[in-house]
Amino acid sequence: MAGDGRGTGDRLTPTPGSGPCPLPPLAVVIPALNEAAHLPLLLAQLAAMPALVAEVLVVDGGSRDRTGSIARLAGARVAGVPGGRGAQLALGAQQTTAPWLLFLHSDTRLPPDWAAAVTLALASPPAGWYFQLQIEGAGLGLGLLQAGVALRSRWLQRPYGDQGLLVRRDVYLAAGGFRPLPLMEDLDLVERLAGQLRLRCLGPALLVAGRRWRRLGLWGCLWQNWCLRRAWRQGVGAEALAQRYYSQKPTGQKKPDQLTLDPAQN
């Protein structure tokens, strides 16, 4: 639709000549666990946009490194809660007040034009918003994977947590917010949000650390993700899935049949 600043499809694109829009304060919630190496750059990117970012809250899951002190030095508030990422995200939303929420994983790097894309989203009709995904590293396999993620996010309305999530607080609360799950907290919320409104792409790509993909290998990660999603839909509890997820070994140390998640084990 011409003149509305939305471009075509679900990707947000600027409209030349459009005037500035009022910027509602933005609360950024970052769950973290032993992320002292990754946090400084992300926090610096957020601190560079004070007109857009009203508050940054890092929710620490019990780090043994300098995650908390680094976050404070960067000007962020710090809270703490055990129990996994779902509990961290839920607490972060509860302890912030701005009308817009941006949830980011601590090992991500924002694209150079992230603030412009978010600004346009704040002035657009109601929707939930996510970034494109770019995994750190190179290769045809990762390129194909990222293209598949883009298709899944748009057509199936299933962006995952490592793509970030931008949503109005009232919409977040109406959907029930994050549940304190140790795993699958992102899919659980996105499925509820998708039942209320359209999830749309902000445009630029969020760069995600590639350590898990290097550790398990591309096919190992894809296999594990498929098993986790399948088991989740079959009723396996998030606690059992988290135990399997965090105990996985690099590709070649477990056979595929050993990775299969059996609902009877819940």
pLDDT reported for residue 4:
42
249 φ, ψ (degrees, to nearest 5): -105, 165
pLDDT reported for residue 12:
56
Measured at the alpha carbon of residue 188, what is the angle toward residues 165 and 179, in degrees to the nearest 5? 90
pLDDT reported for residue 233:
86
pLDDT reported for residue 95:
97
Chunked mean pLDDT (size 10), the chain, 266 residues: 45 49 77 95 96 96 96 96 95 97 97 96 93 88 90 94 96 96 94 95 93 76 86 88 74 38 34
Residue type, 44: A
Which of 79, 58, 88 is CA-nearest to residue 182?
88
pLDDT reported for residue 13:
54
pLDDT reported for residue 256:
34
pLDDT reported for residue 131:
98
Helix, strand, or coil (residue 80):
strand
pLDDT reported for residue 83:
87
| pTM for this prediction | 0.82
Which of 215, 218, 216, 262 is CA-nearest to residue 241?
262
pLDDT reported for residue 100:
97
Residue type, 248: Q
